[in-house]
Every structure is written in C-alpha cells, then in structure tokens.
C-alpha cells in the first residue's frame, strides 16, 4: 500500500487567521500517475502545493509524501521531490552546463553522475553546440524543456509542476506533455496544476479545488460522466459554479 | 558543505557575468579615493589675489613680498583705487584683495599701529575663511619679526599643534568615509538586489523546495559579497597608504577585523532589506534612500555629529557607519587599540546580531 500511494493527504487544513485557504482536503496520488490539480485562481492550489513540498506547515491534518510526513520530515521529503515553477526556473546568466551542475549539486548528486546526466541530456536534445552558451540565448521552447529535464535530474519520485506550460506555444506544450508521459512511464509521479482544460484531459486523474475544498476528483472520463458534460471545460464550469450558490 | 560550495560558485558566476556591476564594484572605490585625494583638498594653492597699496613704502613692499612668496597666492594685479576693488571682484578674477592704508609705514612708526584690510570673496565661505586666516598669519608673523627680540610687557601666545593629521590632509578624512560607502554599497545594496532577483526570477521558490535549507541559501548568497567587500577594503587601504601617505598607526589586523564586523552588519541589513522588498528596484530604493543617504549625512563623514541638532544626533546613533568611521579613524590615525574602541565595536556587534535575528525571523514568516 505504501508503494501504491506516493502521496496521501488526510483532512489537510491551512488557515491564515480567519481565512481558510485549504479546507479539510483528502486525496491520494498513485505512483507513476499524472495527477491534475485544478482550480480557479485563489482556490487554494498554491497553498496546498506549498504544504506538500514542505514550504509551509499545515494547520491540521496529515500529508505523506514519498513515504514521509511533510510536517515532521520536510527535509527528507525535499530530497525525493522535484519542482518546476510557472516562472522559468533556470538561471539565464549561467550556461546550460553550469545550471545542471548547480542543480545537481543542490540535490547532493555526485559529480560523476552529474557529468553523465549532462552528457545524456546534451545528446538527447542535440545541444552539443549550445551547452556552453548562456541560457538567455536559447529559444523559449527549449528553455521550458530544459527546465523540466533539470527538475528530473536527480531522479525524484514526484515532480510538482506549477502551471509549467503557461505562456508557451501549443507546439511546445505538446512536446512538453510528451516529456511528462515519458517520465511517468519510468515511474515518476507528476503533480501538475494547469489552467488549460485540454491539458486536464491528458491527466490520469484530476481534482478540482473550489474555495479551499476538493469538489471533484476522478479520471477525466469519469468526471465527464458524473457531471454529464461533453468536455473538461464544461466540468470545470459546473463545479466552479455550484459552489458560488 | 558541498552543496553550500556549489551555491557560492554559482554566485560567483552571476557576479562575473555581470560586467557592468563588476566594473562598478572594483572601479568605484579606486576612482573615489583618487578623486577625493587629488581633486578635493582643503589646502590653498595658487589663489589669485589683488593688492591695493595706497602707501607704497618699504613696509608694505615687505609684507606684499612675504604674501606672494608664501606659495599660496599669486598676484593677479595691482589696484590703484578703492572703486577697482568691486570691479575686480565682479570680474571674478581674484578671491581676495589686500588693502594697505595710506602712509602705512609712517603710521606704524608714529602710532605703533597700522592696518591692513583683507577683503575676501565669500561666495565660497570655506575658501574665504582659509584665505583670510592665511594672510592674517603672514601679516602677524611680519609684525613679530618687527619686534625682533624687543620685550613687550604682556603677551599671550598660542601654540597650535595638529595631532594625528599635522598637515590637515583632506584625504585622511575622506578615506574612512569612502570605505564606509563602498562597503555599504557592496554589502548591503548588491546583496539585497541579488537576493530579490532570485525572488523576481522565481528561482527562489525552486531553491526553497530543494534540500538546501534557508540558512545555507542566505549564507551562500552573502559569502561572495563578504569576500569582495574585503578585497575592496584592502584596495582602499593600500591606495590611501601608498598613494596618499595615510598612516596606519594601529594594528592592521584589528582594522580588518573591525572591517569584517562592519561588513557582517551591512550584509545582515542587506538580507533584511531583501526580506521586505519584493523587487530589485524596491531593494535598490530602500538601500539608497534608507541607508546610503543617512550614511553620508549622519555618519559624521561630512558633517560633524557633535554640531547636529539633538534629534539628528540621536538618529545618528542607529547609523552603523558612524561607529565604524570612529573606529577607522581611531586605528589608522590615532593608533589606538580595542581598549579605546570597545564601545563602538559592541554597538556594531549588537547591530549585526539584531539584523541577523530580524532577517531570519522575517525570512521564516515569508516562507510560511
């Protein structure tokens, strides 16, 4: 069972004074799953992710991530996870190689492993000519893919992606999702937030947060059936509207 | 430890890639010291004056000779009438006019008294003040000569000795000030900017999610700047000693230890600023307006603290630079040791600890 559910959240709550940002949420994420974490702006997604990644302490409830309780062992959790923010997260004034060396070092990777990984990445994306160029000189689409590659550099069990494809063209988005599928096929769990409903369709399962609660949870097809909707876009609107009334 | 080292290496990459900042970092201290040392002096040199000699006798000739041969003054022209005095001032060609009364020697002989009027252009008050002092001194030295051993019944003479800076060199005053400003700029401004940049770029989040803890991030961020600040400090000291002949009377080890302490305090303030500022611009504004300006105004670097009004004197106590300037002057010029500087040192230690505490607390709150 421990191996099955790589993330287990039970009655997780976060209050800021009177405001309840995360209201008693519970869910599980299976190993190797692409889990879509949806919700309107301000629904509490970011707060929930911050708790799961050990950046913020929960007010009450429990979250087990990669086998450790985040509240008790945030440092152990941090070693097992990767993170990619919506802002592009490589250093623009460093070369690709330097970025990889830096992030690899942060996760305590051995120099030999970093070197091997760099070689692998360079061959895979055919980057031989640009590996010593500053990141700022690379096209945007590449940067996004490289950021993802760097985020999985240290073989994390889970990667948290906070709107990784915002502001990216459709072609690059597709490529990006292909990379995510490939990672998932190797057993990496992907926990992704997005505002694109077509992307939600690509997820194995999704949850929709409204006002701090999870109001819908299931595979895209199950949710469509449940809400009698033709696509995820409609599901999202129905769920979001229900809660306003 | 390996992680921390990797972080510091990354910071050095950032610094080395930013050529402009690098130039400012190492160029400014050198330029400022040379600038203050050569261009801004409090000494008089080649001041143009005019002489209105209505007597033209042996005595006025002697005095004129003495004034002109002192090396401080150059004769622009000889005036004939009083009206010309205003004219020459208006033309702006002279800074002062020396006027001898008519029949100067005769008066001196019969009345034992004659007067010289010194008219100075006080649109620049400091220079005017110095010019009149210099000329009066020359004139009075001549009148002492006249006495020539004769005893006068009563005389109180003042003997002036300038301790610690006998030549009253301006650079001695500027070195501690420049040092403080540069260290503030590198330690506080650049550090706060470099931390807020990570926030702006979104890389700070990634760092926080990584196994590297907050303390390592902060210490890793400031280590390169500590290093650069010490290099700057050394270059300022070297320049002031070897180019301008400033002495280091006290212990050089103590000097650098105190500098390291001051840098530590400045870094702590820089980190604190980065916890309250969310963008590079606001970090720069806060450190410039909130820090560098009071440093210039209130540290005693330009204006003596003791002559400020009480509220400002109080305020000057919270400016770290004020204490550090006292320390630098104490060590370099007076050659005193820690036994006379422990109070200033304690204040700096307190400030460093206080701001470290404040920023660690703020940092945690923000991460929540």
Mean pLDDT of A12-24: 90
Inform me whether the pLDDT recorded for B170 exceeds 50: yes
Measure the CA dihedral B221/B275/A92/B2, to 10°. 30
CATH number of B47-163: 3.40.1710.10
Q: What is the ipTM of this complex?
A: 0.84
| Residue A1: predicted pLDDT | 42
* Alpha-carbon gap, residue B234 to B256, rounded angstroms: 8
**Cβ neighbours of A85 in B, within 8 Å:** 202, 205-206
Distance of alpha carbon B52 from alpha carbon B86, whole angstroms: 12
Q: What is the distance in angstroms between the Cα of A74 and the nearest Cα belonging to chain B?
A: 9
Which residues face A158 on adjacent strands?
A81, A189
Among the partner-chain residues A75, A88, A106, the one whose CB lies closest to the CB of B3 is A106
Domain boundaries, chain B: 47-163, 171-367
CA distance from start to end of chain A = 39
Express each pLDDT in A102-131 by its tens digit: 999 888 888 899 999 888 888 887 877 888
Give B-chain residues touching A149 at CB under 8 angstroms: none
Cβ pair B116, B100 in contact under 8 A: yes
Whether B104 has a pLDDT exceeding 80, the answer reads: yes
**pLDDT band, very low/low/confident/very high, at B359 (cuts 50, 70, 90):** confident
Residues of B in contact with A98 (CB under 8 A): 10, 13
Closest A-chain CA to B13: A94
Token pair listed for A196: 């694109």
Q: 3-state class of A69 per DSSP?
A: strand
Beta strand A158-162 pairing with B73-79? unpaired
A contact set with B (CB within 8 A) = 53-57, 75, 78-79, 81, 83-94, 98, 101-103, 105-108, 134, 160
Query: Across the A/B interface, how many CB contacts are shorter than 8 Å?
Result: 78
Chain B residues close to A91, C-beta within 8 Å: 10, 13-14, 201, 203
Q: How confident is residue B346, by pLDDT bands cut at 50, 70 and 90?
A: very high
Interval A39-73: pLDDT, tens:
888 888 888 998 999 888 889 999 999 999 998 88
Residue B365 has pLDDT above 70, yes or no: no
Strands (E), chain B: 47-53, 73-79, 96-100, 116-120
Give the pLDDT score at A245: 46
| Cα dist from A192 to A55, A158, B319, B344, whole Å | 17, 10, 48, 55
Cβ distance A56 to B367 less than 8 Å, yes or no, reads yes
| Chain A residues close to B210, C-beta within 8 Å | 78, 83, 103, 106-107
Contacts for A130-136: CB closer than 8 Å, 24+ residues apart: A130/A96, A131/A95, A131/A96, A131/A97, A132/A95, A132/A96, A132/A97, A133/A95, A133/A96, A134/A92, A134/A93, A134/A94, A134/A95, A134/B17, A135/A90, A135/A91, A135/A92, A135/A93, A135/A94, A135/A95, A135/A96, A135/A99, A136/A92, A136/A93
Task: Check if the beta carbon of residue A209 is closer than 8 Å to that of residue A180.
Answer: no
- Per-residue pLDDT tens digits for A211-244: 888 888 999 989 999 988 888 888 888 888 876 5
Q: Provide the mean pLDDT of chain B.
A: 87
Residue of chain A nearest B19, judged by CA positions? A93
Of A88, A107, A134, the CB nearest to B211: A107
- Report CB contact under 8 Å: B368, A88: no
What is the pTM (predicted TM-score) of this model? 0.80
Contacts of B207 in chain A (CB under 8 A): 106
For residue range B157-167, what is the model confidence (pLDDT) as tens digits? 778 888 888 87
Question: pLDDT tens-digit profile of B259-290?
Answer: 999 999 999 999 999 988 888 999 999 988 88
Nearest-angstrom CA–CA distance, A80 and A188: 11
pLDDT for the residue numbered A2: 46
């Amino acid at each position: 069972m421990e191996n099955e559910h790589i993330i287990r959240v039970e009655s997780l709550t976060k209050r800021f004074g009177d405001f309840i940002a995360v209201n008693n949420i519970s869910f599980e994420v299976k190993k190797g799953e692409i889990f879509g974490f949806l919700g309107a702006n301000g629904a509490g997604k970011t707060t929930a992710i911050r708790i799961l990644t050990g950046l913020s302490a929960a007010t009450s409830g429990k979250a087990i991530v990669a086998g450790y309780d985040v509240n008790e062992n945030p440092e152990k959790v941090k070693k097992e996870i990767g993170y990619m923010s919506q802002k592009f997260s490589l250093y623009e004034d460093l070369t690709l190689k330097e970025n990889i060396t830096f992030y690899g070092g942060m996760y305590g990777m051995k120099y030999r492993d970093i070197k091997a990984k760099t070689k692998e990445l360079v061959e895979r994306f055919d980057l031989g000519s640009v590996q010593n160029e500053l990141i700022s000189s690379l096209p945007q689409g590449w940067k996004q893919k490289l950021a993802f590659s760097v985020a999985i550099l240290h073989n994390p069990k889970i990667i948290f992606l906070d709107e990784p494809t915002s502001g990216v063209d459709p072609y690059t988005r597709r490529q990006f999702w292909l990379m995510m599928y490939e990672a998932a096929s190797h057993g990496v769990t992907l926990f992704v937030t997005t505002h694109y409903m077509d992307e939600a369709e690509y997820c194995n399962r999704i949850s929709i947060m409204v006002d701090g609660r999870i109001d819908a949870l299931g595979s895209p097809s199950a949710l469509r059936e449940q809400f009698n909707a033709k696509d995820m876009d409609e599901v999202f609107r129905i769920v979001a509207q229900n809660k306003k009334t | 430890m390996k992680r921390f080292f990797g972080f510091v290496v990354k910071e050095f990459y950032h610094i080395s890639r930013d050529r402009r900042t690098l130039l400012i970092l190492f160029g400014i201290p050198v330029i400022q010291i040379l600038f203050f040392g050569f261009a801004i002096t409090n000494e008089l040199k080649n001041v143009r004056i005019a002489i209105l000699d209505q007597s033209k006798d042996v005595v006025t000739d002697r005095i004129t000779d003495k004034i002109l041969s002192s090396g401080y003054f150059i004769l622009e022209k000889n005036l004939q009438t009083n009206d010309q005095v205003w004219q020459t001032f208006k033309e702006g060609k002279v800074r002062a006019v020396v006027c001898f009364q008519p029949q100067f020697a005769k008066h001196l002989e019969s009345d034992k008294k004659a007067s010289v009027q010194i008219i100075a252009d006080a649109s620049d008050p400091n220079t005017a003040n110095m010019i009149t002092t210099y000329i009066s001194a020359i004139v009075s030295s001549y009148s002492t000569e006249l006495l020539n051993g004769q005893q006068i019944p009563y005389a109180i003479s003042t003997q002036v000795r300038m301790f610690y800076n006998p030549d009253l060199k301006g650079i001695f005053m500027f070195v501690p000030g420049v040092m403080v400003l540069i260290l503030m700029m590198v330690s506080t401004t650049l550090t706060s900017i470099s931390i807020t940049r990570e926030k702006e770029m979104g890389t700070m989040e990634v760092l926080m999610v990584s196994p590297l803890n907050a303390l390592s991030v902060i210490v890793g961020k400031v280590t390169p700047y500590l290093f650069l600040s010490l290099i700057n400090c050394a270059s300022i000291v070297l320049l002031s000693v070897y180019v301008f002949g400033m002495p280091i009377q006290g212990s050089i080890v103590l000097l650098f230890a105190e500098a390291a302490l001051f840098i530590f305090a400045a870094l702590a303030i820089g980190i604190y600023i980065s916890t309250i500022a969310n963008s590079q611009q606001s970090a720069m504004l806060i450190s410039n307006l909130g820090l560098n300006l009071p440093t210039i105004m209130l540290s005693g670097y330009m204006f003596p603290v003791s002559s400020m009004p009480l509220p400002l004197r109080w305020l000057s106590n919270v400016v770290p630079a004020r204490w550090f300037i006292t320390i630098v002057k104490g060590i370099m010029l007076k050659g005193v040791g820690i036994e006379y500087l422990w109070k200033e040192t304690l204040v700096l230690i307190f400030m460093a600890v206080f701001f470290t505490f404040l920023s660690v607390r703020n940092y945690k709150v923000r991460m929540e």
